[in-house]
Amino acid sequence: MFLDRNDILILKEFLHKNNMQLKELTGLLNLKERSIKYKIDNINYVLSESGYDIKLKFEHYNLMLTDKEKKLSQFLRNFKIENYSFNKSERVEVLEFAYLFTLKAYKAEELEGVLNMGRSALKSDLYELKKSFARENLSFSSTPKLGLSVKGSENTIRRLMIERILKYFYVKDFYKLLLKDDTCMISRAVEFFAKNILSYDTKKIFDMLKLLEKKMNKVMSEEGFRVLLIYVLVSSFRTGKFPLTAEDVSNESFLKSAEEYKMINEAVKEAGETAFNEYEILKFTEYLLGTYSYNFKYSFYDNWVKMETLAKEMIKNIEEETGILVTNKKFEEEVIRYLRPAIYRIKNDIQNTAVDYKKVMERYNFLYKATEKSLKSLEEFLGKKIDANEIAYLTVYLRMAVENYRKNEKRETDKNIVVVCKYGYGTSQLIKGRLDYIYKVKNIKVLPYEEYLSYNLDNIQLIISSLNLEKSDRNIPIIKVSPLLDDNDIKKLDFYLERKIPRKIEVKKIMEIINKYTFLESNPEMLKELAEYCNDISYENNSAVMELLPEENFTAE
């Protein structure tokens, strides 16, 4: 007396129609006619045994539904999940929800009964779930006699919980959480495992958020309000056993300086939410700031809660503008750390006084211009123009990332390089000639665009082209250049290739030689002028950048 995913799909098709062609079903389910006819017999048997006067029957090649009392939707809503045969991917999906939404460990038998599965199937599913959790840097922890529980970053666990609630539930009247589809068996199973968190008083959270809106004299977007309500619900559920700590919160001083932080403290006390510690309030503040810090046509969840979405877009733009690969986890985290306070400053017209944009433009004009272009997506997201000082601030951030890349990047003279142009001659030969003249290069392969599309790039370290090429999934730098390699092109290529003529003379070495024979007092202006003349990047990194932004101020706060 079991139904599976395909059986339910067939029945749900008849919620809005009375008949269906057999060939439609074969296309929908990717099954042969004989298999579909067998399924119809099984569905009719289950309907009859469940006491419903509903029947599916074939007339020629047309499947008809007889449902005089219009009770099909009632049957689907009331069908017991223990009589549903979950497939593997469905079971893993439900198990993920179960482990995220529990404050205790689960024993195997507790899960086997709900999902109608055996021990060997459960072990196999948990192995798949373990791999899925590992991608989020989460893991299973085993407690003797109690079972398995999930361990890892509290921020990650809460983010995944918010994602799952948004996936399966909708918020009615701004505070009631109801299933989006109560005829879906996965949703029904998920609801079973969500019963503890659903028992929390969401109306109390709703009232607290409305009080906050009144205190701030600002209106949150509908999506922002909904996500914030779910976040506070998840926090209330988790904080008793798994409270946030200092390591879960970044930009602490910035958040504490926001007026909203004080208002949240007041609102939480008035609402009687005594379980929230200081770090819960800080994280609450971070979420709240995002609800009105962006252009409403953009998703608050994707671009504030999951700030890495916006950070990755910015980094991609920076790489395209500069031709410099800066992608790494640490830099992405730094950009995220920079973005939230920056968005708050920009939306609230707070001037960034940490840097002088004129000095940054004077010293790093190319990088400043590239950063300015890369911030267009952020301007669209905010619906507001970004001022010069804010651009300069990120330019200095980027400069530091570039210098870190330079330290780690090996400029071997035997790099395998591909030069791509439309036809493989003319333009590409000009580029190859200029590369041979300026840089210590040995292995340059010239390719027409069509051949490049199918070329094996496994051993290629650098791609240079006059065309707009899509970024390779192998993370190979792609540098767009003009045929004659202008000054900006050479600046890009200098990050990856060694010049035949030395690219720099170290000021430090010059001073060592001078002081070997006579004492010369170190003069900052003299050192700066020498560095500019010698193009000493190491001196620039250690001195000039820090001069623009003192080290103690070089934070996103």
* Cα radius of gyration (the chain): 31
Q: How far is CA 362 from the centre of its chain?
A: 34
Beta-sheet strands, E only, within 393-547: 416-421, 443-448, 462-465, 478-480
Please tell me the predicted confidence (pLDDT) of residue 411. 55
CB-count burial class (<10 Å; 0-12, 13-18, 19+) for 152:
middle
pLDDT tens for residues 163-197? Answer: 999 999 998 887 789 999 998 999 999 999 999 99
427-448: average pLDDT: 86
**Contact (Cβ atoms closer than 8 angstroms) between residue 302 and residue 377:** no
The matching CATH number, chosen from 1.10.357.10, 3.30.420.40, 1.10.10.10, 3.30.310.10, for 84-195 is: 1.10.10.10
CA distance readout (Å), 408 to 97, 326, 404, 449, 549 = 41, 11, 6, 31, 23
d(CA 376, CA 327) in angstroms, rounded, equals 19
pLDDT tens for residues 377-402? Answer: 778 777 788 889 888 888 887 777 66
| H helix intervals, 22-66 | 22-29, 33-49
296-324: average pLDDT: 66
Question: Is residue 538 over pLDDT 60?
Answer: no
Report DSSP letters for 20-31, one per residue: EEHHHHHHHHT-
Please tell me the predicted confidence (pLDDT) of residue 547. 47
Domain 304-408 shares a fold with domain 416-493: no
CATH architecture, range 304-408: Orthogonal Bundle (1.10)
Please tell me the predicted confidence (pLDDT) of residue 124. 94
Q: What angle do CA 153, 159, 161 make, to 5 degrees?
A: 105
What is the average pLDDT value for the chain, to the nearest integer? 82
Model confidence at 303, pLDDT cuts 50, 70, 90, reads low
Of residues 490 and 310, which shows the higher confidence score?
A: 490
- Name which CATH class applies to 3-79: mainly alpha
d(CA 154, CA 137) in angstroms, rounded, equals 11
Q: What is the pTM of this model?
A: 0.66
Domain ranges of the chain: 3-79, 84-195, 200-303, 304-408, 416-493, 507-553
pLDDT tens for residues 219-242? Answer: 887 888 888 999 999 999 999 999
d(CA 306, CA 304) in angstroms, rounded, equals 5
pLDDT tens for residues 251-265? Answer: 788 889 888 899 999
Please tell me the predicted confidence (pLDDT) of residue 151. 94
CA distance readout (Å), 438 to 36, 385, 416, 434 = 69, 40, 16, 6
pLDDT tens for residues 278-287? Answer: 999 999 998 8
* Check whether domain 416-493 has CATH 3.40.50.2300, yes or no: yes
Please tell me the predicted confidence (pLDDT) of residue 96. 96
Please tell me the predicted confidence (pLDDT) of residue 399. 74
